[in-house]
């Protein structure tokens, strides 16, 4: 059996492939085609790492807040450093930040930092956080040349000016440059599903993940998402490491639920993604992921840390929906057809409008695939308030 | 004497036209392009800016191909494929074409044939555009070092360890070389020895290529400010705050400096005082360099290219041909040359 022949179905069998969550706490998606079978072609016979999703601390989410982490619209790197240190110690129970980092990373690792630059310059993985993560990795002996900051789109990395802002010696990889650029994807590792009759039904995993990195630290942002409901740990990994994923959206329908979860089950991505540090400095509560409307951006001044992406995204979803309630906007779960618009300008200005029947249920669906804990009652949500 | 001046107003030999890094400023008139003279499909994204000399347009695409195109017809004269990505805008000096690669090498090619004259290695990506002055090639690397090489042979003259990642291009003056660094500082090095003459901190990394006008070094920082520094001492003469980071490289005329910010505005400031002359909302974050031709300033606004009146800031013309973010337009010989993120090169006139 070669890698192409190996078909893994996330260990759940065909019935599970047809689970059509997307319903969740909201209403159904009237008219959405049935969820097609999704075939996961990961590395065959790979032994999952115990560090892999949901990792060392399933269900644990550490939330760290500091009131001065943004000052004058700028993220404070020294304060980020303190927040990161305290959060890492609380997550792991270790007494020092270095010992905490060593639970996940060894000096010989090649570490990828998966950023989310989309949405720059308004809301994107803060370079200040990335720099502090790099400093922490260096402090435990990871050489600079073994640290890779990466994302799918080179132009978005440039937009965030990471090329100037990350330390010398570290590498910066934009997987795609230009339309239809698939040269940096591994054609043996993919997820295959025909959602809307598209001509290419496969989404390939990036070679930097399959061939270069040994560990991944995921640094998503805290944003609502026009299709997925929110974009957090799961979507930053799945839709940020595989190509050809926009095909899952055909307004007003989207198959982000359950496709995001399936992508994250794919080996070796699942085993290498050992830690999530969510940038909650600025929270986009409407218009994500690409909004530039500051009216919907809130300075939450928060970092979230955890190994369980489902638990973290569940907490993120609750926070964003709470903010929407406070602002008098409809819930991300609201699937009333009357909320739909085909005018993106209207969507970007009106928080009661949707472009899609949103699918925040993708988080719980990922939980059902074994990627973590989505039941709020079972999540160990720790809140640190620093001053 | 500058090493690679644009020989005529039909040439555009390095990033921002020539070594003055003023963005192509010349006296003269400007006409709205009537249409596309030719277009060329490179096939891959182009993030660096084209350069032009003697009716040959040189374009480097991201996946390592370098093209020499006939500026009148768009036909390829020669093509070279290199093993690494290219973000660096090529630079022309004499018969050589110089550029850096993500693999860490800087190449010098024969401009007429594309054959390699020499290559030199660094230990990090070279995104900056090499600048040539007095037979010396200057550039910074992501390995945190700044290099000076002999133009004819590529042999090292000196290397200075800066420590921070350098992705912006330098300005080479008669005695000093100026550049911004990812460590947030603007540096002035002695051009003959590489000794650090001064460094001035800003609040965040610098991705903007400086322009030098008289005794002022003009440069933007990710800390949201645009700076005018004393070229002799590095002292801050004035600084101007925008709402977001300034990674766009400025263009400068006699008394006005133009730059874009990620806050989506294009600014025109008085060079002497830093006072705002005008600002124009561009609709998109501005990260690519601005260029000037006669009475207009042009910029790639993440897709559309805008031409604005230098005096009023009014948008005179816009073209929506491509999406290159780093690529700057070339305004020379009555034409506009554009390279786009979807791999197309256009000549408008």
pLDDT tens digits, B146-155? 999 999 999 9
Residue from A173, A135, A169 nearest A154 by CA: A173
Residues of chain B numbered 13-32 and touching chain A (CB < 8 Å) = none
* Cβ within 8 Å, pair A74-B325: no
CB atoms within 10 A of CB B153: 11
Range(s) of the domain holding residue B101: 36-348
When pLDDT is averaged across residues B267-276 and rounded to a whole number, the result is 97
**Is B46 within a domain?**
yes
Whether B342 has its CB under 8 Å from any CB of chain A: the answer is yes
Q: Is the pLDDT of residue B157 over 90?
A: yes
Residue A13, pLDDT > 50, answer: no
Closest residue of chain A to B241, computed from CA coordinates: A72
Distance of CA A147 to the CA centre of its chain: 19
Assign A4 a pLDDT band (cuts: 50, 70, 90). Answer: very low
Position B87 in a domain: yes
User: Which tens digit of pLDDT belongs to each residue from B279-332?
Assistant: 999 988 898 888 887 788 888 777 788 899 999 999 998 887 655 556 788 888
- Is residue B138 in a domain? yes
pLDDT confidence of residue B9: 60
Lowest mean pLDDT among A6-20, A98-112, A252-266: A6-20
More confidently predicted of A18 and A113: A113
Residue B104 counted as domain residue: yes
A168–B contact, CB cutoff 8 A = yes
Q: What angle do CA A314, A318, A321 make, to 5 degrees?
A: 135
Compute the count of residue pairs across chains A and B with CB atoms less than 8 Å apart.
106
Task: For residue B182, give the nearest of A121, A165, A183 by CB distance.
Answer: A165
Angle between helices A233-241 and A309-326 (to 10 degrees): 110
Q: Which of B65, B10, B29, B15 is nearest to B310 (CA)?
A: B29
Are B323 and A155 in contact (CB < 8 Å)? Answer: yes
Range A76-95 average pLDDT: 97
The confidence band for B16, taking pLDDT boundaries of 50, 70 and 90, is low
For B19-51, write each residue's pLDDT tens digit.
666 666 666 666 778 889 999 999 788 888 899
Q: Are B302 and B322 in contact (CB under 8 A)?
A: no
pLDDT digits (tens, 9 = 90+) for A220-236: 999 999 999 999 999 99
Domain containing residue B268: CATH number: 2.130.10.10
pLDDT of residue A177: 84
Structural domain includes residue B7: no
- Tell me whether residues A155 and B341 touch, CB distance under 8 A: yes
Q: Does B223 touch chain A (CB under 8 A)?
A: yes
The reply to whether B48 touches chain A by the CB within 8 Å rule is no
Largest CA distance in chain A: 58
Average pLDDT on A2-19 reads: 34
Q: Is residue B18 in some structural domain? A: no
Domain total in chain B: 1
Q: What is each CA distance from A178 to A155, A183, B82, B344, in whole angstroms?
A: 8, 11, 18, 11
What whole-number distance in Å separates Cα of residue A90 and Cα of residue B135?
Answer: 58
**Within a 10 A sphere around the Cβ of A7, how many other Cβ atoms?**
12
Least confident among A163-172, A176-185, A297-306, B100-109: A176-185
Report the pLDDT value the prediction gives residue A16, as an integer from 0 to 100.
32
Q: Shortest Cα distance from A148 to chain B (angstroms)? A: 13
Does residue A1 belong to the interface with chain B, where contact is any CB pair within 8 Å?
Answer: no
- Rounded to 10 degrees, the C-alpha dihedral A39/A44/A49/A52 comes to -20
B325 vs chain A: nearest CA distance in angstroms?
Answer: 7
Residue count of chain A: 387
Instruction: Give the span between the Cα atoms of B174 and B290, in whole angstroms.
Output: 24
- Does the structure show a pLDDT above 60 at A11? no
Burial group, residue B37, by CB count within 10 angstroms (0-12, 13-18, 19+): middle
User: Mind telling me how many Å the CA of A161 is from chain B's nearest CA?
Assistant: 7
Q: Flag whether B158 is in a domain.
A: yes
Mean per-residue pLDDT, A270-276: 98
**Structure token digits, residue A82:** 């303190």
Determine whether the interchain pair A163/B167 forms a contact, defined as Cβ–Cβ distance below 8 Å.
yes
* % of chain A exceeding 90 in pLDDT: 83
Binned at pLDDT 50, 70 and 90, residue A14 comes out as very low
List, for residues B39-92, the tens digit of each pLDDT value. Answer: 999 978 888 889 999 999 999 999 999 999 999 999 999 999 999 999 999 999
- pTM score, two decimals? 0.89
| A208 interaction partners in chain B (CB closer than 8 Å) | none
* Angstrom distance (rounded) from CA B217 to CA B232: 9
DSSP labels for B214-251? TTEEEEE-TTSEEEEEETTT--EEEEEE-SS---SPPE
As a whole number of angstroms, the distance between CA A11 and CA A246 comes to: 25
pLDDT reported for residue B336: 87
Largest Cα span, chain B: 50
- Alpha helices by DSSP H, listed for A63-126, are 77-92, 97-102
Q: How far apart are CA A208 and CA B240, in angstroms?
A: 41
- Please check whether residue B248 lies inside any domain of the structure: yes
Q: Are B231 and B213 in contact (CB under 8 A)?
A: no
Q: What percentage of chain B has pLDDT greater than the value 70?
A: 91
Name the least confident of A206-210, B27-31, B217-221.
B27-31
B168: chain A residues, CB-CB within 8 Å: 164
Q: Which of A161, A162, A170, A291 to mutate to test the interface with B (most CBs of B within 10 A)?
A: A161
Q: Closest partner residue to B143 among A155, A166, A169, by Cβ?
A: A169
Dihedral sign (CA A85, A86, A90, A93): positive
For A168, which of B143, B223, B245 is closest by C-beta distance?
B143
In 3-state terms chain A splits into helix, strand, coil percentages (rounded to 5) of 30, 25, 45
Q: What is the pLDDT of residue A15?
A: 29
């Amino acid at each position: 059996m070669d890698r192409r022949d190996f078909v893994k179905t996330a260990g759940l069998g065909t019935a599970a492939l047809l689970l059509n969550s997307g319903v969740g706490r909201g209403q159904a998606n009237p008219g959405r085609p049935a969820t097609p079978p999704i075939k996961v072609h990961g590395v065959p016979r790979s032994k999952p790492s115990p560090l892999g999703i949901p990792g060392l601390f399933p269900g644990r989410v550490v939330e760290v807040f500091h009131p001065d982490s943004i000052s004058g619209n700028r993220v404070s790197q020294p304060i980020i450093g303190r927040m990161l240190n305290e959060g890492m110690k609380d997550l792991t129970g270790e007494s020092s930040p270095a010992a905490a980092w060593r639970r996940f990373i060894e000096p010989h690792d090649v570490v990828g930092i998966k950023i989310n630059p989309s949405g720059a310059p308004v809301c994107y993985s803060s370079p200040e956080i990335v720099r502090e993560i790099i400093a922490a990795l260096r402090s435990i002996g990871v050489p600079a040349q073994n640290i890779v900051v990466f994302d799918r789109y080179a132009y978005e990395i440039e937009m965030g000016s990471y090329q100037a802002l990350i330390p010398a010696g570290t590498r910066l990889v934009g997987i795609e440059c230009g339309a239809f650029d698939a040269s940096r994807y591994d054609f043996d590792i993919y997820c295959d599903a025909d959602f809307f009759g598209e001509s290419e039904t496969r989404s390939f995993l990036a070679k930097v993940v399959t061939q270069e990195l040994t560990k991944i630290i995921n640094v998503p942002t805290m944003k609502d998402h026009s299709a997925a409901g929110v974009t957090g740990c799961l979507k930053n990994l799945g839709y940020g490491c595989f190509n050809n994923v926009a095909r899952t959206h055909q307004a007003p329908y989207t198959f982000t639920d359950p496709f995001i979860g399936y992508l994250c089950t794919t080996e070796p991505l699942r085993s290498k993604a050992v830690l999530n540090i969510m940038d909650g400095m600025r929270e986009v509560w409407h218009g994500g992921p690409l909004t530039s409307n500051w009216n919907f951006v809130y300075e939450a001044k928060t970092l979230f840390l955890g190994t369980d992406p489902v638990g973290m995204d569940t907490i993120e979803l609750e926070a964003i929906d709470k903010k929407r309630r406070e602002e008098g906007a409809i819930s991300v779960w609201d699937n009333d057809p009357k909320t739909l618009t085909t005018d993106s300008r209207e969507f970007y200005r009106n928080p009661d409008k949707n472009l899609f029947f949103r699918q925040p249920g993708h988080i719980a669906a990922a939980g059902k695939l074994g990627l973590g804990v989505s039941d709020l009652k079972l999540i160990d949500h720790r809140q640190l308030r620093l001053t | 004497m500058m090493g690679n001046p644009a020989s005529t107003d039909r040439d555009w030999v390095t990033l921002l036209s020539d070594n003055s890094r003023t963005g192509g400023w010349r006296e003269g008139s400007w006409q709205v392009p009537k249409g596309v003279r030719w277009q060329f499909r490179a096939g891959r994204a182009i993030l660096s800016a084209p350069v032009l000399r003697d009716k040959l347009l040189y374009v480097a695409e991201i996946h390592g191909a370098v093209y020499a195109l006939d500026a009148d017809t768009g036909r390829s004269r020669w093509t070279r494929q290199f093993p690494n990505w290219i973000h660096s805008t090529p630079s022309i000096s004499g018969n050589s074409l110089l550029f850096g690669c993500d693999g860490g090498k800087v190449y010098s090619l024969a401009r007429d044939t594309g054959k390699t004259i020499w290559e030199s290695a660094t230990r990090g990506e070279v995104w900056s555009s090499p600048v040539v002055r007095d037979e010396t090639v200057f550039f910074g690397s992501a390995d945190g070092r700044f290099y000076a090489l002999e133009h004819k042979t590529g042999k090292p003259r000196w290397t200075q360890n800066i420590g921070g990642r350098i992705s912006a291009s330098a300005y080479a003056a008669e005695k000093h070389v100026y550049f911004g660094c990812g460590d947030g500082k603007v540096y002035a090095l002695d051009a003959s020895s590489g000794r650090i003459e001064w460094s001035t901190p800003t609040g965040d990394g610098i991705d903007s290529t400086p322009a030098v006008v008289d005794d002022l070094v003009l440069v933007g920082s990710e800390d949201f400010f645009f700076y005018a520094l004393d070229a002799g001492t590095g002292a801050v003469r004035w600084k101007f705050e925008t709402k977001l980071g300034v990674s766009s490289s400025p263009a400068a005329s006699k008394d006005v400096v133009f730059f874009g910010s990620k806050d989506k505005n294009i600014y025109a400031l008085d060079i002497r005082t830093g006072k705002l002359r005008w600002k124009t909302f561009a609709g998109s974050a501005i990260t690519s360099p601005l260029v000037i031709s006669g009475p207009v300033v042009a910029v790639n606004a993440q897709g559309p290219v805008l031409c604005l009146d230098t005096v009023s800031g009014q948008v005179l013309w816009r073209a929506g041909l491509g999406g290159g973010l780093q690529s700057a337009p070339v305004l020379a010989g009555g034409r506009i040359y554009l390279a786009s993120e979807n791999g197309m090169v256009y000549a408008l006139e």
